[in-house]
Amino acid sequence: MTDLAYVNGQFLPAENAVISINDRGLQFGDSVYEVVKAYGDKPVLMDEHILRLERSAHALNISLNGIIEEIDRIVPEGLQRTGFSQTIIYIQLTRGTQPRNLIFDKTIKPNLIATFRPYGLDLASMRSNGIKVSLYPDIRWAHCDLKTTNLLGNVLMKNKANDEGCFEAILFTEDGRVSEACSSSVFVVKNGVLLTTPSSENILPGVNRKYVIDIVAPQLGIPVREEHTFKDDLFTADEVFLTSTTFLVMPVIEVAGQQIANGKPGPITMSLVEQFEKNIHN
């Protein structure tokens, strides 16, 4: 089965899926999105992704008329049509189509597009080796709490990190506080406590970040504090890890060329990996 797409009411092979050149998502990044992982026919934390999509769309005044019902219909159907063992579902809702104009027409109908692709990361080896990350000033805009496709800063920084042989980049604001990473949330482990950036307009409220805070860490009796860390705290951390839909929990072994602790995935991180996996497969 090739990658599957869905565009405004129709499933079709991804390579044949097209959208207008006047789509505002294309022209302005005027759109919101979610990335969801599924095991077989079971999407992980779907309700939380839908809640965040609703929040992002409301904040931008993108109409959700009938959209959530449509997503609820197409996700199971797309998973059934593809039958991949693990799927990355990409859902994007653009404000709609109109001749290019910064001022949007309040009456246009949003475009709902989605893709269903087989999951491509070798998680087992990434987790057992841990990943290296770069460290950069956060150059993004002032509403990183909204999951919009306005992602140029993330794109440029993640490519720079990639060119440096790193999988991700951790970002810090002007005062040196860690915000998040290009497409994941950041946790620092210090003296047995998980520290992660408090929710604000500077970070995306990560679904997996919240699941670690609310469910996985408490299950293991690991205390969590939503508290700012500074970039130097990364180098003295006992462990650093990232969370994201695409890898759940991922140990970081090196930041900006400097080894974290003994340069191996840490025991607290690995216990979170194991417990998280256990929860979603039950």
Binding site for ligand PDD (CB under 6 A): 35, 154, 180, 183-185, 204, 206-209, 243-246
Which is nearer to ligand PDD, 154 or 229 (by Cβ)?
154
Which is nearer to ligand PDD, 44 or 97 (by Cβ)?
44
Which is nearer to ligand PDD, 97 or 172 (by Cβ)?
172
Minimum distance, C-beta of residue 196 to ligand PDD, in the bound complex (Å)? 11
- Among 103, 94, 125, 136, smallest CA distance to 8 is for 94
Minimum distance, C-beta of residue 170 to ligand PDD, in the bound complex (Å)? 11
Residues 6+ apart with CB under 8 A from 250: 126, 127, 130, 131, 184, 241, 242, 243, 244
Which is nearer to ligand PDD, 204 or 213 (by Cβ)?
204
| Residue 231 to residue 238: CA distance in whole angstroms | 14
Q: What are phi and psi of 166, to 5 degrees?
A: -110, 155
Residues 6+ apart with CB under 8 A from 152: 29
Minimum distance, C-beta of residue 100 to ligand PDD, in the bound complex (Å)? 25
Helices of type H across the chain: 24-28, 46-60, 67-82, 123-129, 152-163, 207-211, 217-220, 231-235, 267-281
Minimum distance, C-beta of residue 222 to ligand PDD, in the bound complex (Å)? 18
User: If DSSP codes are grouped into helix, strand and coil, which group holds residue 53?
Assistant: helix
Which is nearer to ligand PDD, 183 or 196 (by Cβ)?
183
Catalytic residue among 132, 147, 158, 231: 147
Minimum distance, C-beta of residue 199 to ligand PDD, in the bound complex (Å)? 12
Indicate if 190 belongs to the active site: no
Q: Which residue type does 98 have?
A: Q
Q: What are the Cα distances from residue 220, in Å, to 170, 185, 194, 196?
A: 26, 20, 12, 17
Catalytic residues: 147
